[in-house]
Amino acid sequence: MSLSGKLTKKLVENLGPGRHGDGNGLYLVVDPSGARRWIVRVVVKGQKNKKGAPLRTDFGLGGVDIVTINQARDRALEYRRMAKQGLNPRFNARQDVPTFEEVAQQVHIDRMPTWKNAKHGQQWINTLRDYAFPKIGRMPIDSIGQPEVMMCLAPIWTEKHETAKRLSQRMKTVLDVARSKGFRSGENPVTAVKDAHVLPKVKAKPKHHKAMHWKDVPAFYADLASRKSMAAKALMFTCLTGSRTGEALGLRWEEIDFDERIWTCPAARMKTGDAHRVPLTDEMLSIIEPLKAMKSDYVFEGQKRHHPLSNMSMLMLLRRMDVEGVTVHGFRSTFRDWASEAANAPREVAEKSLAHSIGSEVERAYARSDLLDKRRDLMNAWSQFVAGR
């Protein structure tokens, strides 16, 4: 007989995003996408984590469309009883064969601490939610073979090839985990499909961001400078620094050394995974120093207090300015063309200014300097050209 809790069927169907407790360690998790699933949190008696604290673990119990609230309560109670006896439910729970979605949700929970940020973790499960769960989500994990894998991959293999490749990797991971837990045996069907070459070869299309010619930048920048919006200021700064959109919009005051005139973008926000120093010019400082008065966590604050501008803010500004055929990311290419054609900058200095890796792995191991002084001269020249000074 199931224990009653705080949640009702109506609440389960209508609660918004977040983690909602039912009691006895059972939670309803509602993703921003609206997907709903059960998890149970238990403390295993006598077991400690790496820091010596009691071992507290979350277990996925399945989506609400598969597992009813009473079933979730029953299983949560079973897991808590095991934990009180010192048994880890991960290894001692009754071995009912879970569905593909149930295993995927548990893999998502287990791997949360390993992702670079919450956004990456959400993207991982969203790919499965959009392209795998509708077709095979409710199938027992041990019944999925090559036909089911093809059912998910084939419809998007050509039109959305990059998405299909990510989907195949994530499906393979879920199926590998299921095998490691004893729910499957034999070869991973994703590997079998790949080895059989039954999906057509797709020639990768290079992605080019449309860029403005460097000769047109001063006039464009003058137009930007006449505007008072935060998006205009962010775009001016992005154009001058050659930074990526996320790097510029995520800029916090604590990353700036005004005495040394350096912005250090931390490794966690860099595409390369390495911290990057940007020399700040007079023009760059003239944009950001007045923004200190806002006393925000972020230099370029959005409409919500202590939150940055949205990623679309600068692109929407370009559209309002009727600037056709240009992307924000394209200004990195614009700077690179100017550095080569007008400034005659050495390749390694220009590439380092854009936080690009240079040379082979061995060459990079010996070339540890980030060429800051040479880059400062180049960025000063770029700022003077762009601002017409």
Tell which residue, 63, 47, 66, 65, has the closest CA to residue 55.
Answer: 47
CA distance 336 to 340: 6
| Class of domain 214-387 (CATH, top level) | mainly alpha
Q: What residue ranges of the chain are covered by domains with CATH 1.10.443.10?
A: 214-387
Q: Considering the domain delimited by 1-94, tell me its CATH architecture.
A: 2-Layer Sandwich (3.30)
Structure confidence at residue 98 (pLDDT): 85
Determine the straight-line distance between the first and last CA of the chain, rounded to whole angstroms: 79
Q: Do 61 and 27 touch, CB atoms closer than 8 A?
A: no
The C-alpha torsion from 336 through 337 and 338 to 340, rounded to 10°, is 90
Burial class (CB in 10 A: 0-12, 13-18, 19+), 309: buried
Structure confidence at residue 358 (pLDDT): 64
* Sheet with 26-30, side-by-side order of all strands: 18-23, 26-30, 36-48, 54-63
CB count within 10 Å of CB 42 equals 22
Tell me the residue length of the chain. 389
CA distance 39 to 18: 12
Q: How many CA atoms lie within 13 A of 20 on its CB side?
A: 21
CATH, domain 113-205, list 1.10.3470, 3.40.50, 1.10.150, 1.10.10: 1.10.150
CA distance 353 to 241: 8
Residue written as token pair 């020639």: 203
pLDDT for 260-319, tens place per residue?
999 999 988 888 788 899 999 999 999 999 999 999 999 999 988 888 998 899 999 998
Is the pTM higher than 0.75? The answer reads: no
Residue written as token pair 């998405």: 163
Tell me which H or E stretch contains 79.
Answer: helix 69-84
Relative orientation angle of helices 118-131 and 100-111, to the nearest 10 degrees:
170
Token pair for residue 331? 């200004």
Q: What residue ranges of the chain are covered by domains with CATH 3.30.160.390?
A: 1-94
Token pair for residue 196? 């059989």
Q: What residue ranges of the chain are covered by domains with CATH 1.10.150?
A: 113-205
Task: List the chain residues with pLDDT less than 50.
Answer: 1-2, 360, 362-367
The C-alpha torsion from 126 through 128 and 134 to 138, rounded to 10°, is -120
Give the CA angle between residues 378, 250, 244 to the nearest 5°.
Answer: 45
Tell which residue, 350, 85, 112, 27, has the closest CA to residue 214.
Answer: 350
Token pair for residue 350? 């220009």
Residue 207, Cα to own-chain centre: how many angstroms?
19
Token pair for residue 226? 């006449």
CA distance 375 to 349: 6
Instruction: Tell me the H-state helices in 140-252.
Output: 146-153, 161-180, 189-196, 217-225, 230-241, 245-249
Residue written as token pair 């109670």: 77
124-132 contacts, C-beta under 8 A, 24 or more apart: 124/170, 125/31, 126/33, 127/163, 127/166, 127/167, 127/170, 128/101, 128/104, 128/167, 128/170, 128/171, 128/174, 129/33, 129/35, 131/156, 131/163, 131/164, 131/167, 132/100, 132/104, 132/167, 132/170, 132/171
pLDDT for 190-244, tens place per residue?
999 988 888 888 876 555 568 899 999 999 999 999 999 999 999 999 999 999 9
Average pLDDT, the chain: 86
CA distance 378 to 371: 11
Structure confidence at residue 273 (pLDDT): 80
